[in-house]
């Protein structure tokens, strides 16, 4: 007798319940088990979703960057994979992998990345979380008049892992996406930092709501605020210069009077900074250039825009001097922050923010060849990007092999013992 319309037949339900995974308690498998299978139930159902996802992740850890390579690698380590997941249906074909990832809900896999990252993440006081976008250029489709998909990433500079990803809507930009991504992450006691595009009141408000601090650059997209900050620092510079002149005169006077006690007090106190806090880095020599950074922080005071930015406590000026051969360049960037004036912490946090470029984006483009991929399906390409980030997190957290990510991928592909170490030593 036929069942009710829309109801899964009993014989198919029984078939689905027979699926069991040998290592069902492994954290990765538990995370994948919670993802809803988008496929229609069928008697020809051969490959459990968890097995498909696990195969794809392991192959990506081993260096696969397209579905053909995922299939070949999975076939080569079928026996090893069967220790973890049900492989009774064998390895799916390339089209099956592609079809599944093209219909798999992106939100579900993005959630799995956050859950996976939370297992690897060590909570550190004032952990720097960098939010930065990256486009997958190969996904642009001129015939459909679609640009490359753009992904907003959250990178933990202190843990060196990607905490989360959110696909930016094709007809939008990062501005509305950032509060959404912040909302689903654990940001308590962290420092949220982003580029100037995301210096928005909503970003600052969301950071305070999440019990985090923010450190945001101010550029031409916030002209009124930028003018106020520049004016504040210009006035401060004049006050500091006047105080220095006054201090030097007192030094000269004490020297003329041979007042050693007074001289000692003046030198110990130094010239007044008028309530500002300063820090200067040691000179660094990198790749043929010499770079020096300095940071000045002042309390926000009574600037007109203060009320518009929730939790605003300090204004920041970062100055970089770079010498390359005979060329000398200077760069000045202003920031607003909810942090108390602490130039060392703020200066180092700004520097750590740029680690997202080399730590995450460069590796995804060069090692995982993400930018070269011609995967045009919007959902499939975004889901594949999640796999890349999960694989990268796993490889970065495996520290017994002191080599780069690409070398670790080779080791995982060739050595089953190292492959197991990547999985088992993480938790």
In this prediction the pTM is 0.88
pLDDT mean over 212-221: 95
CA distance linking residue 73 with residue 114, whole number of Å: 26
Note the pLDDT tens digit of each residue in 397-409.
Answer: 998 999 999 999 9
CB 384 within 8 A of CB 109: no
Confidence class of residue 179 from pLDDT cuts 50, 70 and 90? very high
Annotated domain spans of the chain: 10-104+378-424, 223-346
CB 355 within 8 A of CB 336: no
Helix (H) or strand (E) holding 405: helix 405-414
CA atoms within 13 A on the CB side of 390: 28
How many other CB atoms are found less than 10 A from the CB of residue 219?
14
Note the pLDDT tens digit of each residue in 291-337.
Answer: 888 899 999 988 999 999 999 999 999 998 888 877 888 889 999 99
Helices (H), 91-222: 94-103, 106-120, 174-183, 201-209
CB 280 within 8 A of CB 292: yes
Note the pLDDT tens digit of each residue in 55-105.
Answer: 999 999 999 999 999 999 999 999 999 999 999 889 999 999 999 999 999
**SS3 state at 84:** coil
Note the pLDDT tens digit of each residue in 217-230.
Answer: 999 989 999 999 99
Q: CA Rg, the chain, in Å?
A: 27
What does the mean pLDDT of the chain come to?
A: 88
How buried is residue 252: exposed, middle or buried, by Cβ count under 10 Å (0-12/13-18/19+)? Answer: exposed
Distances in Å between the alpha carbon of 42 and those of 39, 48, 55, 97, 200? 9, 12, 21, 17, 49
| Contacts for 305 with CB less than 8 Å, ≥ 6 apart | 224, 225, 228
Helices (H), 130-222: 174-183, 201-209
CB 405 within 8 A of CB 395: yes
195 pLDDT higher than 50 = yes
State the pLDDT at residue 427. 60
């Amino acid at each position: 007798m036929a069942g009710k319309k829309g109801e899964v037949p009993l014989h198919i339900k029984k078939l689905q319940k027979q699926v069991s995974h040998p290592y069902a308690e492994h954290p990765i498998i538990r995370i994948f088990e919670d993802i809803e299978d988008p496929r229609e139930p069928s008697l020809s159902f051969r490959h459990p979703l968890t097995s498909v996802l696990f195969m794809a992740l392991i192959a990506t850890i081993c260096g696969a960057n397209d579905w053909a390579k995922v299939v070949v690698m999975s076939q080569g380590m079928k026996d090893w994979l069967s220790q973890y997941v049900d492989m009774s249906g064998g390895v799916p074909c390339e089209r099956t992998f592609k079809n599944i990832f093209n219909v798999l809900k992106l939100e579900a896999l993005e959630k799995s990345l956050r859950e996976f990252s939370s297992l690897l993440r060590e909570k550190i006081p004032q952990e720097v979380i960098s939010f930065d976008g990256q486009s997958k250029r190969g996904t642009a489709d001129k015939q459909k008049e679609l640009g490359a998909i753009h992904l907003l990433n959250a990178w933990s500079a202190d843990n060196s892992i990607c905490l989360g990803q959110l696909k930016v809507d094709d007809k939008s930009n990062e501005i509305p996406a950032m509060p959404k991504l912040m909302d689903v992450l654990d940001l308590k006691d962290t420092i949220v930092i982003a580029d100037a595009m995301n210096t928005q009141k909503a970003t600052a408000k969301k950071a305070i709501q999440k019990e985090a601090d923010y450190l945001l650059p101010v550029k031409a997209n916030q002209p009124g605020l930028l003018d106020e900050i520049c004016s504040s620092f210009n006035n401060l510079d004049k006050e500091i210069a006047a105080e220095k002149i006054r201090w030097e005169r007192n030094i000269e006077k004490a020297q003329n009077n041979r007042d050693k006690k007074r001289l000692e007090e003046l030198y110990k106190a130094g010239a007044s900074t008028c309530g500002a806090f300063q820090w200067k880095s040691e000179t660094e020599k990198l790749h043929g250039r010499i770079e020096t950074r300095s940071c000045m922080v002042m309390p926000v005071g009574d600037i007109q825009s203060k009320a518009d930015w929730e939790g605003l406590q300090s204004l920041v000026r970062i100055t970089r001097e770079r010498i390359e051969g005979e060329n000398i360049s200077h760069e000045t960037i202003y920031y607003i922050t909810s942090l108390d004036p602490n130039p060392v912490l703020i200066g180092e946090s700004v520097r750590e923010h740029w680690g997202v470029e080399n730590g995450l984006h460069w590796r995804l483009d060069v090692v995982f060849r993400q930018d070269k991929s011609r995967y045009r399906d919007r959902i499939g390409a975004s889901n594949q990007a999640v796999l890349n980030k999960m694989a990268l997190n796993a490889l970065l957290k495996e520290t017994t092999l002191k080599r780069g990510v690409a070398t670790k991928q080779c080791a995982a592909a060739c050595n089953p013992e190292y492959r197991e170490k990547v999985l088992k030593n993480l938790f």
